[in-house]
Amino acid sequence: MATNAFFANNMLTVALNDGRIIHFPCANLKWLINATPEQQKDFSIESDGYGLWWHELDDGIALHHILSPTLVSQARIPA
């Protein structure tokens, strides 16, 4: 379950309750990349920790998508 998150440098970082820290490249989340810093910070942890929701953006992402190997491999930012 997610316990905290923040967005920086086109990367969503999510802290999980088991101690893991997930860094998710947001190449496929244009709505989050294009948001203002204030909008990026205005989120809540929903569904008992299994989702993140950005209020002003009216969009969100489920934790299982962030943890999906397929989505992460598609979202990799070229070096």
Is residue 50 included in any domain, yes or no? yes
Average pLDDT of every residue of the chain: 84
5-42 pLDDT, tens digit per residue, is 988 888 889 999 999 898 888 887 899 999 999 999 99
The one-letter amino acid at 69: P
Looking at residue 44, its pLDDT comes to 94
Looking at residue 70, its pLDDT comes to 55
Number of domains in the chain: 1
The CATH number linked to 49 is 3.30.2020.40
Instruction: Give all strands of the β-sheet with 21-25 in edge-to-edge order.
Output: 2-8, 11-16, 21-25
Is residue 30 included in any domain, yes or no? yes
Looking at residue 77, its pLDDT comes to 44
Parent domain of 58: 2-74
Tokens representing 2?
A: 């997610």
Is residue 79 included in any domain, yes or no? no
Looking at residue 69, its pLDDT comes to 64
pTM, full prediction: 0.77
